[in-house]
Structure 1
Amino acid sequence: MKKINFLFLKKIFLIFALITVSHAQQININRIESMPDFPSPYEMRDWENVAFGYDSLVYNLSLTGQYLPLISLNTNTINYPEHSSFRLHTVVGTNFPNSAEAINVLPSVIGASLIGIDKSNQNGYNFVLMCEEWFNKNNGELVYLNHPSASSGDDWWYETMPNVFFYQLYDLYPHTGDFDYQFTTVADRWLEAVDSMGGNTVPWQVPYMNYRAWNLITMQPLTTGVPEPEAAGAIGWILY
């Protein structure tokens, strides 16, 4: 397995920092300057209470009624068949109740954990362990994707953000299930992609990322559609 070149990664972040510093400027706008820094009256919503309420609603398997419950168990797992997983509706009233997106599921576990809910042992379920079903192991992608059996090469957003969320989840629940293997494998896969995009340390070469997406199986770009080179930030975050 290819090892992460930390010197290369540090250089990438140094370049990002230099670009930001050289281009960032603060321009005073009179109308904006006349506005108060803290408006009055002002009421901050109790976001911790909102998070508790959301978790108690979305993760309640016993709810009944139209569109309820919003969660279901998945006993037909493909990446880690030794244990079950779960699904959350992407939207209320979805026409695809058996489809669950990583960009919805993983943040829900992370958000609840940040307010003190132990998602590794909630009502007898280990929702943290169940999240590893979104690591696309069976099809050889070997990264987190938006669905348990998906293909990279369509959209940077859906191919980088599930991995960003996984790293946050790993930080909260290290060494869960196959997390240790996934943690290094995800980084190795994206480093291989950066190398294939032309990134190099000796001689120094910045990778070309002005694409819509990158296929991790063929190591080829998607050149049609709207380019999303800002995905370099997400990849840099993952590799850091």
Structure 2
Amino acid sequence: MPIILPPLLAQLPRLPEPYHLRDWRAVARGYTDLALSQKGGAEYLPLMWRDGDALGLPSYVGHPQMTKGADHEGITVLGTLLGATLVGADVKTWIPGAATYFSAEDG
């Protein structure tokens, strides 16, 4: 069954002008590089830190309670590591610290 478009819709271009598709792989890779970098150089860098055997990554960059120590959440760490693997980053050195967020008791 053919798709019949109303005349006004048929006049619209298939792609808007100007059109630019953002390179989301490059954006994700840039975030991964920033989040996992251990280089300082700016007020809130580095973002990722070690908390004993655990990893910390602030949910909100610049939040006064999320700067090192035990104030971190698994959702930010695990999401960053998973996203990093999807863009081909080597996160082997960070994976052991993610085990902190797994509990056999809680599933």
Corresponding residue of 2:85? 113
Q: How far off its partner does 1:41 sit?
A: 1.5
| Residue number in structure 2 paired with 1:91 | 60
Query: Aligned partner of 2:56: which letter?
Result: R
- The TM-score, its normalising length taken from structure 1, stands at 0.37
Aligned counterparts of 1:32 and 1:119: Cα–Cα separation in 2? 51
Q: CA deviation at 1:42?
A: 0.6
Residue 51 (structure 2) aligned to one of 69, 74, 85: 74
Aligned-pair RMSD on alpha carbons?
Answer: 2.5
Match of 1:100 in 2: 72
**Is 1:132 matched with 2:99?**
yes
By how many angstroms is 1:30 displaced? 5.5
Give the C-alpha shift of residue 46 in structure 1. 1.6
Q: Cα gap change, 1:95/1:36 in structure 2, threshold over 3 Å: closer, same or farther? A: same
Q: 1:114 to 1:31 in 2, by over 3 A?
A: farther
Counting aligned pairs with the same residue, the percent is 29
User: Which residue pairs with 2:21 in the alignment?
Assistant: 44
Which runs of structure 1 show a deviation greater than 3 angstroms over 4 or more consecutive aligned residues? 28-37
Correspondence list, 1:194-233, <5 A = none
| Higher helix residue share | 1
TM-score of the two chains, using structure 2 as the length reference:
0.75
Higher relative contact order (CA 8 A, sep 6+): 2
